[in-house]
Each structure stands twice: as structure tokens, then as C-alpha cells.
Amino acid sequence: LAKTTQPISMDSYEGQEVNITCSHNNIATNDYITWYQQFPSQGPRFIIQGYKTKVTNEVASLFIPADRKSSTLSLPRVSLSDTAVYYCLVGDIGYKLIFGSGTRLLVRP
Amino acid sequence: DTEVTQTPKHLVMGMTNKKSLKCEQHMGHRAMYWYKQKAKKPPELMFVYSYEKLSINESVPSRFSPECPNSSLLNLHLHALQPEDSALYLCASSQAGEGDEQYFGPGTRLTVT
């Protein structure tokens, strides 16, 4: 499973767009990129998953360049309730989720 | 119903006790998972059940014993735990497992004294 590298923490302000980048230089051909969000004392929650180019859903966008060695989770117009840990996971389609260390996002008023 | 429930929410047990954690889902999912999460660390996979059969055991010590009585229920039996086993234990489920989104429960906060 490919190792991922994310910033340990990020700060933002309400209403701003936040972009969290994840590096995965050893991504394999079959690997997908998935992001989860976790609030304190809660289980992680699926945000978005993609293989290449751009994926968008109602809460986020995921940008994946052609070489797939990195990906960027984009959260539009964050609010205080988006303060959480965001995990980038890379792996082939299968049962195992291997979580990296995650990015702690703090949204300030 | 898109909820995974876990009981109890909190559990304090001694090193000689036997206890069980329970997880339930009614989404018709056929894969269920146990994770362990220490404070300020990412979740670590422990076990995966697929169609009620144990398919992955991540070299977890035998003092943790999983059980899947039916497709909706997942138990984790605990015996002779150590203080370092204190953690948040998370249960998750997914449709059929293969790359599907995993739905997590709120976890059981376990303290071993």
C-alpha cells in the first residue's frame, strides 16, 4: 500500500477555501485515493474518492494530476464545523483502509 | 438507516476481566470491521469480516477475539487485556467490502486498569 504524506496541521478562517495536499509518490496503477474526515471522539466519515482528474460531490472536490503522485482535497467556504482531522488514504480496491497521520484543520471565526 | 451503533460508549475493565464490545448495523452491509485508535493517532485496522467470515486478522493478540453472529452484528470479546490496550475501538461496515465506502460507528472508549 502506498505511503501518504500530508501536512500535520492547517489553519483557516470561516468562508475561505481550504486545500489539503497529499503526496503519494509510490501510488500503484490499481490504487484509488480516498479522503475521510474525523471529529474528536467520533468515527471517521467518508468524504470523497477518486482515481484520476477531478471528482466533485456536495461537500468537496478532489484534484488528481496526471501523474497521480499527489492529490488535493478542496473544501469550499469552510465553517467552524469543518474543524477536524482529514485523512488521505491510497490503496487498491479492497477491504483494508490504512490511515496515514492525517491533517488537523482548525477553522477560526 | 445509515447508522452503525456501538455499545457500550465507555468501558472500564480490570486486567483479569472478560468483557465484550458490540456493534450493529441495519444497512444490509456484508463487510464489517474493527479498528483501534489511540489518542491523536490514526485508526488501525484489527479485523475484517466478509459475509460473516473472518477475512483479515492484522496479527492482533489473542486477548482480542472477534465474532460475527450474523450479518448485522459484530462483537469483540476482550480478556486479560493490558493497560496499553486502552483506546477508542471503532466498528465500521461497508456494502460488500471491495473499495466501498466504510461507515463508522462512534466507538467504545475502553480503559484498562
Distance CA B113, CA A53 (A): 50
Query: From the CA atom positions of chain A, what is the Rg in Å?
Result: 13
| Span between the terminal Cα atoms of chain B, in Å | 36
Question: B45 and A43: CB-CB below 8 Å?
Answer: no
Q: Which of A42, A87, A95 sits opposite B50 (nearest CB)?
A: A95
Strand pairing category for A31-38 and A84-92: antiparallel
**Interface residue B111 vs chain A (CB under 8 A):** no
Task: Work out whether the CA dihedral A12, A14, A16, A21 comes out positive or negative.
Answer: positive
- Determine the pLDDT at residue A95: 62
b/e burial code for range B38-55 (CB count within 10 A of at least 16 → b): eeeebbbbbbbbbebeee
Distance CA A87, CA B45 (A): 14
Q: Which three cell numbers stand for residue B17?
A: 476481566
Name the minimum distance, in Å, from the CA of B90 to any CA of chain A. 6
8 Å CB contact between B19 and B80: no
Could you read off the pLDDT tens digit of each residue along chain B, which spans 113 residues? 669 999 999 999 999 999 999 999 999 999 999 999 999 999 999 999 999 999 888 889 999 999 999 999 999 999 999 999 999 999 999 887 566 788 999 999 999 99
Question: B107 and A41: CB-CB below 8 Å?
Answer: yes
Question: B104 and A44: CB-CB below 8 Å?
Answer: yes
